[in-house]
């Protein structure tokens, strides 16, 4: 394969990886791993739990979780892996914010400490 062809192939190979990463991010943001762990394992149950469209949940589950609509979905290592924040702070983002509410609600500054 020529250098140009290999470079094109390398770029094309990145596209599905980005899609999978976005699907995983969205699934985690919706809390799907937690709902699945709690026994809500079908797309209908997950849609009801999150308020999202069932068709959208179906698209997410195919690339992120094991199982099927018929058997129910199960978490994978990727869907339950701790985030970079959790690794760095030994707790979830929301648990971290709880005792830091005053900091979390502070208005943004202009870079000089002024509002």
The structural domains of the chain, ordered by start, are 17-81 (1.10.10.10)
Give the E-state strand segments of 25-81 in sequence order. Answer: 66-68, 72-74
The residue behind tokens 């997950």 is 46
pLDDT at site 103? 54
Please give the structure tokens belonging to residue 72. Answer: 């129910």
Measure the CA–CA gap between 89 and 93, rounded to whole angstroms.
8
Total Cβ atoms within 10 A of residue 54: 14
pLDDT at position 106: 44
What's the pLDDT at 22? 86
Q: pTM for this one?
A: 0.62
Q: At what angle do helices 54-64 and 43-50 cross, to 10 degrees?
A: 120
pLDDT value of residue 43: 95
Q: Which of 46, 16, 114 is nearest to 55 (CA)?
A: 46
Q: Which two tokens stand for residue 38?
A: 């709690």
Q: Which structure tokens are listed for 40?
A: 């809500």
Mean pLDDT by 10 residues, the chain (115 residues): 74 74 87 91 94 93 90 89 71 68 51 50
């Amino acid at each position: 394969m020529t250098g140009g062809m290999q470079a094109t192939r390398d770029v094309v190979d990145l596209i599905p990886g980005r899609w999978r990463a976005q699907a995983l991010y969205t699934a985690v943001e919706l809390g799907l791993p937690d709902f699945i762990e709690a026994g809500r394992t079908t797309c209908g149950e997950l849609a009801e739990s999150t308020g999202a469209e069932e068709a959208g949940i179906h698209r997410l589950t195919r690339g992120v979780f094991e199982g099927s609509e018929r058997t129910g979905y199960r978490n994978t290592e990727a869907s339950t892996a701790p985030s970079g924040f959790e690794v760095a702070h030994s707790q979830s983002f929301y648990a971290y914010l709880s005792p830091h509410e005053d900091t979390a609600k502070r208005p943004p500054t202009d870079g000089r400490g002024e509002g």
